[in-house]
């Protein structure tokens, strides 16, 4: 479920497994997930090089290549990495394989092909072009307040708008609003200062806690909403029934008793 916490976990996973080894070869199993780079240019830029360092901005992650350039990854709705011995069967829906010369390889897996791999020379430019909103873990209280003042739809859509705040998707917007005890349809422009502050703190706390739980719902605190998704679940705070509603085309989960 790649939102900011998931992507941060993937970034750390790459750090722990795949850095500083020579890339023997790249296998492109689905050419259509390459964005703005041909298979030939990807191979040319990557083969014989090493992954040196990683960065993340919102739901994008980047890996620098020895000598020059960066790989940019977007995980879509279903993406993840798997690192394992090269002779093992790679996961179903593997789209690109990076084979290292230590006998291991990193698989970039997407069930639905909504993710992307790109090559870019400059991460700052890439972010400016693709996702200029401030990362949700970096945004200041001032910028957060300004963003909400300028938004017109629901607070849930405002949190999910990647042009303003990068990294929050459907699942974590619900969790943030639950912890802030705010209704997903609340008007972002009409929140009083104290509510904006509560929401800001909930955003930072939820994202950090989720990363600490390795983005695994089973490891999250017992009073989190996320593990109750899709089970006809109950509110972990008041015991009421969790309601779902369509908000701007996405299913919002919330507790009508706790969130006003």
Partner DNA sequence: CTAGATGTTAAGGT
Partner DNA sequence: CACCTTAACATCTA
Give all strands (DSSP E) within 110-166, no chain letters.
116-120, 134-135, 165-166
Nearest-angstrom CA–CA distance, 121 and 220: 37
Q: Tell me if 251 contacts DNA by CB under 7 A.
A: yes
CB of 92 to DNA, least distance (A): 7
Q: Tell me if 145 contacts DNA by CB under 7 A.
A: no
- Contact with DNA (CB under 7 A): which of 64, 161, 228, 259? 161
Q: Which stretch binds DNA (CB under 7 A): 19-27, 36-44, 47-55, 107-115?
A: 107-115
- Contact with DNA (CB under 7 A): which of 123, 137, 151, 211? 151
Lookup result for tokens 């394992």: 84
Closest CA to 107 of 137, 141, 130, 84: 84
- Contact with DNA (CB under 7 A): which of 86, 248, 256, 257? 248
Q: Tell me if 187 contacts DNA by CB under 7 A.
A: no
* Residue 117-136 contact track with DNA, rule CB under 7 A, x = bound: -------------xx-----
CB of 143 to DNA, least distance (A): 14
Residue 79 neighbours by CB under 8 Å, 6+ apart: 2, 73, 108, 109, 110, 114, 115
Nearest-angstrom CA–CA distance, 33 and 23: 20
- Asked if 109 and 91 count as a contact pair (C-beta separation under 8 A), the reply is yes
Could you give the angle at the alpha carbon of 172 between the alpha carbons of 167 and 175, nearest 5°? Answer: 150
Lookup result for tokens 């939820």: 206
Q: Tell me if 55 contacts DNA by CB under 7 A.
A: no
Q: Tell me if 162 contacts DNA by CB under 7 A.
A: yes
Q: Which stretch binds DNA (CB under 7 A): 8-16, 190-198, 235-243, 248-256?
A: 248-256
Among positive and negative, which fits the CA dihedral 150, 153, 158, 162? negative
Q: Tell me if 78 contacts DNA by CB under 7 A.
A: yes
**Which positions touch DNA (CB under 7 A)?**
1-3, 30, 58-59, 74, 76-78, 92-93, 111-114, 130-131, 150-154, 157-158, 160-162, 169-171, 229, 244, 248-251
């Amino acid at each position: 479920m790649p939102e900011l916490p998931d992507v941060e976990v993937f970034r750390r996973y790459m750090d722990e497994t795949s850095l500083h080894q020579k890339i023997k070869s790249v296998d492109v199993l689905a050419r259509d997930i390459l964005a703005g780079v041909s298979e030939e240019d990807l191979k040319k830029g990557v083969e014989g090089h090493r992954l040196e360092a990683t960065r993340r901005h919102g739901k994008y992650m980047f890996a620098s290549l020895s000598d020059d350039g960066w790989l940019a990854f977007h995980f879509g709705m279903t993406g993840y990495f798997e690192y394992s011995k090269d002779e093992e069967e790679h996961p179903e829906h593997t789209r690109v394989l990076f084979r290292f010369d230590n006998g291991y390889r990193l698989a970039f897996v997407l069930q639905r092909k909504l993710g992307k791999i790109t090559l870019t020379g400059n991460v700052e430019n890439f972010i400016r072009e693709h996702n200029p909103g401030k990362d949700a873990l970096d945004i200041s209280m001032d910028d957060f307040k300004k963003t909400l003042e300028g938004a017109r739809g629901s607070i849930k859509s405002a949190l999910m708008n990647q042009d303003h705040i990068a990294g929050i998707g459907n699942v974590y917007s619900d969790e943030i609003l639950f912890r802030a005890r705010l209704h997903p349809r609340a008007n972002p422009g009409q929140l009083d200062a104290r509510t904006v502050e509560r929401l800001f703190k909930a955003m930072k706390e939820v994202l950090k806690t989720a990363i600490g739980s390795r983005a695994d719902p089973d490891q999250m605190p017992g009073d989190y909403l996320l593990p109750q998704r899709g089970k006809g679940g109950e509110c972990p705070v008041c015991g009421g029934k969790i309601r779902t509603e369509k908000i701007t085309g996405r299913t919002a989960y919330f507790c009508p008793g706790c969130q006003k």
